[in-house]
Structure 1
Amino acid sequence: MRVDKYLWHIRYFKTRSVATKACNKGQVKIDDVAVKASRDVFPSDIIQVRKNQIDYKVEVLDLPPSRVGAKLVGLYCMDITPKENLEKLDLLNYSQDYYRKRGTGRPTKKDRRDLEDFKDDVDDSIDDI
């Protein structure tokens, strides 16, 4: 089975074309060698995927017949990502919250609608005076 198809089947990528683009960019490696999307995957291969600034490692246990549900992914692969990489993901999430808190910066669509409703209420109360 092709490596892009396998990564799509086990839900590492949302679409197969996104998985193919990641392979073409060199973000997918097997045995520390960047691979093309057409490279075949076999059980016991270790795939390294760089996604969202994190290097994930996956060991291939078996080849799925088709795209599997999230609960069945564990039958076909084992996540062997080092703990340091997962901690790096937590730090990235924390740093994003630190630099921009919710409610600061550009108003959301909901905030904009609330402001417009408030302005309309103020204009109506001024007209009543």
Structure 2
Amino acid sequence: MDKVRLDRFLWASRFYKTRSLSTDACKRNWISVNDLTAKPSKEVRIGDIIKIKKSSHYRSIKIIVLLNKRVGASKVEDYIEDITSPEEIEKEREHNQNRKLFNLSTSHKGRPSKKQRRDLEEFLYHGGED
């Protein structure tokens, strides 16, 4: 095996949960191989450099061993080499930190509980009557 489809490799190396998600990423031009945008059917080889666009940064990897079947998350590092620049790693760290802060601040969404509703009614309708 000296070449594998790009979408299959991205799925097998756990960059995407499903093969259809990796196919969609290729179709949206989020993936480039050796600095050229690539279709899902592009065949990748050992030594190719894949650049993956994430929401806030780019991730760059170099293929060490080709994958045809999905492997465990702990074994992925045996097949690829992460060559992402330190600036991009810092962008990813900042993005993840901001996401955590945002998720903490928006934890009160949805309908209020019965107690919260009663407290709101008390405040809004009966708060000014003293």
Q: Could you say which residue in structure 2 is the equivalent of 1:60?
A: 63
Helix, strand or coil at the partner of 2:44:
coil
Q: Could you say which residue in structure 2 is the equivalent of 1:26?
A: 29
Assess, with a 3 A threshold, how the Cα gap between structure 1 residues 26 and 107 changes in structure 2: closer, same or farther. Answer: same
Q: 1:13 is aligned with what amino acid?
A: Y
Assess, with a 3 A threshold, how the Cα gap between structure 1 residues 13 and 101 changes in structure 2: closer, same or farther. Answer: closer
CA shift for structure 1 position 63 = 1.1
CA shift for structure 1 position 80 = 0.7
CA shift for structure 1 position 95 = 3.7
Structure 2: runs of 5+ lacking an equivalent: 119-130
Alignment of 1:1-129 (within 5 A): 1-96=4-99, 100=102, 102=104, 104=105, 107-108=108-109, 112=112, 115-117=113-115
In 2, the alpha carbon distance for the partners of 1:41 and 1:52 equals: 24
In 2, the alpha carbon distance for the partners of 1:28 and 1:105 equals: 32
Assess, with a 3 A threshold, how the Cα gap between structure 1 residues 46 and 118 changes in structure 2: closer, same or farther. Answer: closer
Structure 1: runs of 5+ lacking an equivalent: 121-129
In 1, the alpha carbon distance for the partners of 2:90 and 2:67 equals: 29
CA shift for structure 1 position 118 = 6.2
Assess, with a 3 A threshold, how the Cα gap between structure 1 residues 70 and 107 changes in structure 2: closer, same or farther. Answer: same
In 1, the alpha carbon distance for the partners of 2:115 and 2:45 equals: 60
Assess, with a 3 A threshold, how the Cα gap between structure 1 residues 62 and 89 changes in structure 2: closer, same or farther. Answer: same
In 1, the alpha carbon distance for the partners of 2:78 and 2:22 equals: 20
Could you list the structure 1 runs, at least 4 aligned residues long, displaced by more than 4 angstroms after superposition.
117-120
Helix, strand or coil at the partner of 2:50:
strand
In 1, the alpha carbon distance for the partners of 2:9 and 2:83 equals: 17
Q: In angstroms, what is the RMSD of aligned CA positions?
A: 2.3
TM-score normalised to the size of structure 1? 0.77
